[in-house]
Amino acid sequence: MRRGGTDLTGVYLGGTDLTGAYLGYANLTRAYLGYANLTRAQLAGISLTGADLGPADLTDADLRDADLRHAYFGDADLRHAYLVRANLTGALLGSAAPEGWTRDANGLLKRASTSRDSQGHEN
């Protein structure tokens, strides 16, 4: 966590409406955010190590540079979430998957294959 972030280790925010909230660089290690609405939340650099986010709404959330190690996402909605440089080591995504990704037969994430028509447009 970078300096200046609020320490909210272990906080219970289940079901809380945090639409558009700024929590950048906060420490939410082992926090409970199940059923929370984090749509369009600014979470860049946040630490959610070991946090429970299943099934939070993270639509359009900014999670760049976030520490998501060992976080549980369950059925979290990650549509359009920005996950550039986020650390997902050991994270349990359950059925949650960022847009453009699918699961293989073993349940592992992989980029969704797209087919193209004769003019090169994605189908």
Domain presence at residue 34? yes
The range of the structural domain enclosing residue 23 comes to 1-112
For residue range 75-100, list pLDDT tens digits in order: 899 989 999 999 999 898 877 766 66
Domain presence at residue 118? no
pLDDT at 67 over 50: yes
Question: Considering its fold, how many domains does the chain have in total?
Answer: 1
pLDDT at 1 over 50: no
Domain presence at residue 70? yes
Domain presence at residue 123? no
Domain presence at residue 120? no
CATH number, domain of 94, equals 2.160.20.80
Convert the chain into a string of H (helix), E (strand) and C (coil). Answer: CCCCCCECCCCECCCCECCCCECCCCECCCCECCCCECCCCECCCCECCCCECCCCECCCCECCCCECCCCECCCCECCCCECCCCECCCCECCCCCCCCEEECCCCCEEECCCCECCCCCEC
Top-confidence residue, 36 or 121: 36
Domain presence at residue 45? yes
